[in-house]
Chains A and B, each alone.
Chain A
């Protein structure tokens, strides 16, 4: 398990992935930074086989809650599957971008489940078309398929997404009574951002999407019956809609009056206009800066301008955008290392990759992640999670420390065995050096390393016995994973 520390590759994998398994460090460690970034972006050439390893030996465990593992219909299993992918996928950037989009288009399970049913809630969020009798592709699978796709396509797919049509009530948006929820949020949260639209724009956007509702085809007996997008011409409001900003490339602000039969074009025009809007480019570039580069200090205007123009020049192609992000000098600047507050998912998965997973079930991480403030498929509201320092309430900090404890306790035997195998069990100093290398952190505050050492020297002389190695290795790993520096990625 001994790793050759490569700070650049580790930084890349913390940001463009969820940290590094030993095998990831080995394979990416053989590449130049540019090659590694390319390999991450071009994940299409890596087979997407990760799900087939669920339940296999050598991988992190999942826990059975029902008769069978059913991520397409039981949300607890949907969550387990996603955590499993975060640990084991060989397409780490795909999972990372999916999480980015999940936060961007934040959709919550409870409302869908409450409106339809618990199994339907999981289905419209997490089912793969291949495992659903009605070929339903849940929202997260759509985002995963399009993780580095074209933003315009993602936006259109979100507007027609069953879970979104329930979550923001688009399914009830009709000309008789337009529903503003989606019309507002598509501007405020998904594209141009607050301050770049007006209240009359909200009502106009609601009218644009009138008739973007749901239908329910399929058979009730074979399980294929399902909700899906349907444009209801009779419910569409046909008059012209004028916005305060340009919707069309020629600067036109008015979506013309159209016959109801062709009225779906209103929404397509509007989505194209929003996706091509310079404020959308800047809004996304700013979010990417905070997610991939740093949360410290002011947003770097040069970066935002450059990434926004790459976005616009490439017609919203996110692969081109991410290639730019991951080759940017801002990303690779050493001062950007460890300058993001790890999301609970990032913290938990990195800890598993650093500390070990054999015999551990991702199911045990779900409750503790909730205590840390992140339940996958259940963002607090449509604006997503409160990021940065907001993750660090006292109870959330305790939950992080306690996850370190749970995992270190679970891996006690493995940790001691690895220490011994590395010849690091002979002295407290050797053990400290070993784990300092295994659990990379931001530079430790002055005095912290001494506290680790003092801990190893507490409670009797060093004998290197198995019992002592297990106690001290798990105790030290607990303290390291729970220390403030480990909370930064």
Chain B
């Protein structure tokens, strides 16, 4: 189960006595310093992505024999060449936008990422990918730890979470505001005019009385303070329309529109969190039919990322941006009786951005059922990892965020051969 947020919170609370009273002028500093800020967008494909349906080894006969109903016919695959082990690979047919980004050399696909004895639990798995520590699923998230490592005082908009929850990966001492919809992020009042202004200024003053000797209550104060301190800058993002089409019915695309808007408006945010869910495809995975479950998941992913990529390219911000995906686990190789797939192990990570060295990294699994097959585990049931996911994080931390990964990850996970950034 989710090694509960409570346990995490308990650990967090001890450390939680930082000063909340971020000075008013910080916002202006952030504005002035913005213009070009390197951004990291963390993408959570939640539910456990069936990466064999996203990036398929379409010449492997076992891919078809083990997935009689959900394998993608070879003729429909969007071919992306062969990896270093000479396995021919191709993207899901709905990923035409990602294919074009791949062809422009701006999309990296890092195969067989995971860790030893990978958890098949959604909650523990997500916690582990978030903390970047399989042995400690309750500490702060690795992105949260990065934000905590920045010189203080830290601007309250240094991070932007596009969901209304508090994802573990961005949890740290530094509070990250949750702004699911910039236009809904406002302070209302039962009154108008001077009376309404008085309420708002009173709310701001109340939030300044942080009871530091009562950490559990102080946490709520910190949230209030951050909410009130970020309202005005977020309002500037609400009006952003973008230079590409972000489908109105695609929540993931809408979240990315807000991210692009925050970048274009130059409000100083360094880290964004976006998510697209529904990957827990135990039944009726329906990979191939238009409108099928996995087909739609790929559509949401493709359309959101393509719009975002195009918009940033038009705005001249592509080189400042890196998107990195994760998912709590991959899925079982053989389909189950419900035309779906159960929880598995290693999976594929995506990295996209102007400075990304696109291409295929790592090697594909061989899907042969032989129990001695070294690319598989669990009696050849699941894909076994080749690249520790922390090695991927280390690339991003060292080469993009410019911080020492050995400190942030509590160990040296640097690995050659995966130089995607």
**What is A's interface to B at a CB cutoff of 8 Å?**
115, 168-169, 172-174, 176-181, 184, 188-189, 193-194, 199, 202, 290, 295-298, 339, 341, 370-373, 380-383, 386-390, 392-398, 401-402, 405-406, 408-409, 412, 442, 445-448, 451-452, 454-455, 458-459, 471, 474-475, 478-479, 482-485, 487-488
Can you name 7 A-B pairs with beta carbons within 8 Å?
A176-B337, A179-B342, A189-B1, A382-B122, A393-B223, A395-B181, A395-B184
The prevalent SS among residues of A at the interface is helix
User: A394 touching B177 by the CB < 8 A rule?
Assistant: yes
Q: In the assembled complex, which residues on chain A have CB atoms less than 8 Å from the CB atom of B203? A: 401, 479, 482
Q: In the assembled complex, which residues on chain B have CB atoms less than 8 Å from the CB atom of A381? A: 122, 280
Given contacts A179-B337, A339-B216, A397-B227, contact A402 B187 (CB under 8 A): yes
User: A199 touching B120 by the CB < 8 A rule?
Assistant: yes
Given contacts A371-B164, A475-B191, 15 further A-B contacts (CB under 8 A): A180-B342, A180-B343, A193-B1, A296-B216, A383-B122, A390-B166, A394-B223, A405-B190, A408-B190, A409-B189, A442-B217, A475-B189, A475-B195, A485-B217, A488-B217
Q: In the assembled complex, which residues on chain B have CB atoms less than 8 Å from the CB atom of A371? A: 164, 180, 184
**Smallest Cβ distance from B340 to chain A, in angstroms?**
7
User: A169 touching B338 by the CB < 8 A rule?
Assistant: yes
Q: In the assembled complex, which residues on chain A have CB atoms less than 8 Å from the CB atom of B5? A: 386-390
Report how far A209 CA is from B190 CA in the complex, Å: 54
User: B187 touching A398 by the CB < 8 A rule?
Assistant: yes
**What is B's interface to A at a CB cutoff of 8 Å?**
1-6, 9-10, 12, 120-124, 161, 164-166, 175, 177-181, 184-191, 194-195, 198-199, 202-203, 205-207, 209-211, 214, 216-217, 219-221, 223-224, 226-227, 230, 280, 282-284, 335-338, 340, 342-343, 378
Contact of A184 among B6, B226, B337, B343 (CB under 8 A): B343
**Smallest Cβ distance from B196 to chain A, in angstroms?**
8
Q: Which residue of B lies closest to A110 (CB)?
A: B278
Given contacts A179-B283, A474-B191, A485-B217, contact A395 B336 (CB under 8 A): no
Report how far A174 CA is from B209 CA in the complex, Å: 59
**Smallest Cβ distance from A94 to chain B, in angstroms?**
26
Given contacts A179-B337, A380-B165, A445-B210, contact A405 B188 (CB under 8 A): yes
Q: In the assembled complex, which residues on chain A have CB atoms less than 8 Å from the CB atom of B189? A: 405, 409, 475, 478
Q: Which residue of B lies closest to A408 (CB)?
A: B190
User: B217 touching A478 by the CB < 8 A rule?
Assistant: no
User: B165 touching A373 by the CB < 8 A rule?
Assistant: yes
Given contacts A177-B337, A390-B166, A393-B161, contact A398 B211 (CB under 8 A): no
User: A475 touching B342 by the CB < 8 A rule?
Assistant: no
**Smallest Cβ distance from A407 to chain B, in angstroms?**
9
User: A396 touching B164 by the CB < 8 A rule?
Assistant: yes
User: B338 touching A179 by the CB < 8 A rule?
Assistant: yes
Q: In the assembled complex, which residues on chain B have CB atoms less than 8 Å from the CB atom of A484? A: 207, 217, 220-221, 223-224
User: A479 touching B202 by the CB < 8 A rule?
Assistant: yes
**Smallest Cβ distance from A28 to chain B, in angstroms?**
27
Given contacts A295-B6, A389-B9, A475-B191, contact A396 B214 (CB under 8 A): no
Report how far A390 CA is from B161 CA in the complex, Å: 13
Q: In the assembled complex, which residues on chain A have CB atoms less than 8 Å from the CB atom of B282? A: 168-169, 179-181
Report how far A178 CA is from B335 CA in the complex, Å: 11
Contact of B1 among A172, A383, A392 (CB under 8 A): A383
User: B190 touching A409 by the CB < 8 A rule?
Assistant: yes
The 7 tightest CB contacts between A and B, nearest first, are: A177-B337, A393-B178, A409-B190, A172-B338, A484-B220, A394-B177, A394-B227
Contact of A398 among B122, B165, B186, B283 (CB under 8 A): B186
Q: Which residue of A lies closest to B337 (CB)?
A: A177
Report how far A209 CA is from B45 CA in the complex, Å: 29
Report how far A210 CA is from B177 CA in the complex, Å: 45
Report how far A241 CA is from B209 CA in the complex, Å: 59
Q: In the assembled complex, which residues on chain A have CB atoms less than 8 Å from the CB atom of B198? A: 455, 458-459, 475
Report how far A454 CA is from B205 CA in the complex, Å: 11
